[in-house]
Amino acid sequence: MSTQARRPRGKDYIWRVGLAALVVLPTVAFAAELPRFKPGFNLFSQEQDIQVGREGVAQVEKEVTLLRDPAVERYVSDLGRRLAGLAPGNTDYPWTFKVVNSRDINAFALPGGFIYVNRGVLEAAEDEAQLAGVMAHEIGHVTMRHGTHQASQMMLAQMPLAILGGVLGKGSSVTGQLAQLGISFGVNSLLLKNSRGAESQADEVGTYTLYQAGYDPKAMVQFFGIIEKKYPQQGLQFFSDHPNPENRIKKVDQLISQLGPQQQGRTDSPEFQAAKKRLLALPPPPKTKPAGQPSGSGSSGPAVNPPAPSSQLVKYQGDGFVIAYPNNWEVQQSKDGVTLAPPGGVFSGAQAYGASLSNYVPPQESWGLIDATKQLLDSLRQSNPNLRVVKQTSLKIKGRAALSTLLENDSPLPGQKETDRLITVRTKDAMLALVFVAPQAAFEAYRATFDRMLKSLELR
């Protein structure tokens, strides 16, 4: 769960189609309406997308190891540029396409046209059309501006008045503004977590671009299916950053039927097979994490089975509270609070196991615990669209009135649900929000530890 209202992940939004436009291109006439290839609500300018993307490049390249092989680099870059030139929408970006030396099957795009494809994608793709499908999908995230759309929605939720005052106006550093909101720029950045709505749109752009480039337009979804079935472990991060939209295949098939007869339906090229052969002959990627990647920040692999919580508790002194936690857990401090999690308990930037505490200041001056908790839940729901309240009870913490809210949510672990127990209690000038989280199947095993932690909680 993304517990801090300021750090949502996977924010979903409704893609409003509005009036359907009839897109008519010189070479192709469409029998039916095409989906609108139009970016959503955005507070950033296109130049700011590039500025944000450049900041991301600097951070990401501290965290990943790039593949240095001029032949493969050139091949991927040429292919990417060719596809970007054929994508719908405004494609006026300084496109760069780089290969990450990792066998995880993943690809991601920073705002402004900076695209990274893992070596694992090239090794797993059966032909050029499948690789092109992944790249065209990433291009879709750029041209539809999904990263800054996501950040814009969060800003609007967090500081509507500041936005009216023009926080993103000239003279202010847009990256500084994002940092203030707690948005980081590395591989776990919110800018890379796509909602299912964004995914669907990137699918449409990807499929359309494949078609325009003369590839079999089915190749993109075909490859997603291969990743899911053949490489479930290597593909975990991909499906975490690019969650499967509902009816993915059906929607893409619908679009393909609207595109008309296939132009060439090309699938492969000798260049692709040569690049793949080169990669398979190269030494394996480095196993150890490169320096600069913080441990316990969640970038490490899937939190499938973190070690059991130690029965030895140690104290953590926070801003206005003290809590005890198992001594084999890791502490990750943030601007607004702290995450306490077993090693590997944070997956893909969101917490799958452990506890987090943050001070929440409700927007209104006079408020009660129930209202403030409701407001917090509303703001959490923006980043956790499937969050559901199961039960709410009141309790006392060291004599103070508190609320315990049991929640069900999507786990950051693909395909899993999680249980969250949110404890809210008023402090001197804010509300402390303590969340215990574990996948549904594991929550019982953590209950005793969570209870001990709650019992240890002291407030200022």
- Residues forming contacts to Zn ion in the complex (CB under 5 A) are 194, 199, 202, 242
Nearer CB in complex with Zn ion: 124/323: 124
Q: Specify the residue, 128 or 199, whose C-beta has the smaller distance to Zn ion.
A: 199
Which C-beta is closer to Zn ion: that of 98 or that of 146? Answer: 146
Sheet holding 96-100, edge to edge: 96-100, 114-118, 107-110
Q: Where do the H-state alpha helices sit in 231-266?
A: 236-241, 248-259
Q: Is 135 or 437 the residue whose CB approaches Zn ion more closely? A: 135
**Per-residue CA distances from 447 to 1, 263, 306, 387 (Å):** 17, 59, 15, 20
Indicate the helix (H) or strand (E) that contains 140.
Answer: helix 128-143
Residue 6 near residue 158, CB atoms below 8 Å: yes
Q: Which residue sits closest to Zn ion, CB atoms considered?
A: 242
Q: Closest distance between Zn ion and the C-beta of residue 342, in Å?
A: 29
6 vs 36, which CB is nearer to Zn ion? 36
Residue 331 CB, nearest approach to Zn ion (Å): 32
Count of H-run helices and E-run strands, the chain: 14, 15
Closest CA to 60 of 109, 4, 123: 109
**Smallest distance from Zn ion to CB 250, Å:** 17
In the complex with Zn ion, the residue whose CB is nearer, 11 or 374, is: 11
What is the three-class DSSP state of 32? coil
DSSP 4-29: STTS--S--------SPP----SS--
Q: Nearest CA to 92 among 54, 44, 142? A: 142
The amino acid present at 40, given as its one-letter code, is G
